[in-house]
Chains A and B, each alone.
Chain A
Amino acid sequence: MKRLLQGVLAALVMMPGSAALAQSQYIIVASTTSTEQSGLFGHILPAFEKDTGIAVRVVAVGTGQALDIGRRGDADVVFVHDRAAEQKFIAEGAGVRRYPVMYNDFVLIGPSPDPAHVSGGRDIAAAFRAIASAQAPFVSRADRSGTHAAELRLWKDAGIDIAAVKGPWYRETGSGMGPALNTASGLNAYILSDRGTWLNFHNRGELRIVVEGDRRLFNQYGVMLVNPDRHPNVKKDLGQRFIDWVVSPRGQQAIADYRIGGEQLFFPNAGSDS
């Protein structure tokens, strides 16, 4: 009880100060749920904070929303995974420059009974076609996230006009990766997930990976500084130091070191042209 009271008092005392501390050493990074919920940030940020003394405050939302937060100037750095949307962000002047950081891959998750008979395949387009023709339950993020954008690309690659053929089997949840996985688990539905979130997800029920390893499932992450010319409040130097660290050998090694159950989640590739 005493500890609790101390906690409350500390929070009350710090509350008015937290706005005044805006000048102190921290940056706001708008990022995706996959980097936060996979546990990656929990692993690499302490190392960055130790190296530089800069605290990182992560706001984890979908890629579309993270880019919007950056556009409004409410974050210093955006760290997302939708190359086309990132290039648009740079082109419209909202961000300074895009740095490729790392990649992992998407996996198709499905129920053990496998009503669309796609398990074990490596051709994601064929699997999507099989799901559509079987009208097997499929959960879509439908939230303008990076994963949603990838899913829409894959339907296109499969030659399916999803907007035209979608029926009750295609459930658009408009939610983050985790909640959408919870829905898929409850419905025993197929769903596209990034591998990191899947590995860190507990409520699997009968779900498992059914298709993986297709080159089209490549998932590239990029990091960008929000344009300080447009938003003078952007902490240009601190934000750039974060970006420099993430793409430095030390930051790249920290990313490579993050594992769940021995499995590496993200593969650093800074300096590539991805």
Chain B
Amino acid sequence: METFSQSFATAFAMLVTHDPRLFRIVGLSVAVSLASTAASALIGLPLGAAVAVARFRGRSVLVVAMNAAMGLPPVVAGLVVYLVLSRSGPLGPLGLLFTPPAMVIAQTLLIAPIIAALTRQVIEDAWSEYRDQLESLGSSLAQSTMTLLWDTRYALATVLLSGFGRASAEVGSIIIVGGNIDGVTRVMTTAIALETSKGDLALALGLGVVLLTLVTAVNVGVHALREWARVRHG
């Protein structure tokens, strides 16, 4: 129990003393998570929406594949990206291994399927509800898709949040492709793993408290934005 109380004290002390190293780690954590969520949204939203409204051969296979890809183990994603970005791999000449962009790529591989699969479900539900209406208005499939994406934006915000949550909590892939280099690729989760390795459990848990606080703050922010928009637009 002592470790628990100590970790809260540690977390509080780190936050009030404005430890610059902590802020750099937190900053990189948020930046990497945001970048991978944004990249995943760019891929996942259109892909999920397209699969929801389009009818083509092999569609159900694609739907199952997208759902299954949500369960991709982070270590496997990390390993694949590592092998691709390694100097001995196909994209080796880019020199991206052990840099933050490599971490974003690995996390996008993990999160894009989540956003695509959940978006597909959200849009498909809305599509079955509004299809007749939209078709009677004579809107094309592309226009309908855009309308549906806009109409379900609150549900999709939750989808993006779950992607962000997964990104910020993830350690398996980024520790492989980032290397947990101090000052370069060390983020909250890899720092927690490192302090656990050192047996400094109070500090590790303290960092965990900081991370949780941060993720909660992001969620509160999105929630507030949503409420504000709901009141404003009805």
Contacts and interface: CB of A to CB of B under 8 A. Distances in A.
Instruction: Find the residue from B86, B93, B94 having the highest chain A CB count within 10 A.
Output: B86
Given A57-B179, A59-B181, A73-B88, A179 B101 contact: no
Contact of B27 (A10, A177, A178): A10
Given A4-B23, A59-B98, 13 more contacts: A4-B26, A7-B30, A11-B27, A15-B101, A33-B197, A37-B197, A42-B182, A58-B182, A72-B88, A179-B197, A203-B199, A203-B200, A231-B87
A182 B184 contact: no
A157 to B, nearest CB: 28
B34 to A, nearest CB: 7
Given A11-B100, A15-B100, A59-B179, A177 B197 contact: yes
B196 A182 contact: yes
B31 A11 contact: yes
A66 B30 CA distance: 29
A10 B200 CA distance: 29
Nearest to A26: B184
B101 A19 contact: yes
Contacts of A15: 31-32, 35, 100-101, 104
Interface residues of B, number: 38
The 7 A-B pairs of least Cβ separation, nearest first, read: A7-B27, A178-B197, A203-B199, A73-B87, A11-B31, A59-B179, A202-B199
Nearest to B103: A15
Q: Which of A3, A11, A179 has the most CB of B within 10 A?
A: A11
14 contacts: A11-B27, A12-B35, A15-B101, A18-B100, A18-B101, A19-B96, A28-B181, A57-B179, A72-B88, A74-B87, A178-B197, A179-B197, A202-B200, A203-B201
B99 A8 contact: no
A35 interface: no
A195 B125 CA distance: 61
Contacts of A203: 199-201
Interface in A190-212: 200-204
B180 interface: yes
B73 interface: no
Nearest to A179: B197
Interface string B67-98: 00000000000000000001111001111111
A15 B105 CA distance: 12
A176 interface: yes
Contacts of B24: 7, 11
Contacts of B134: none
B94 A19 contact: yes
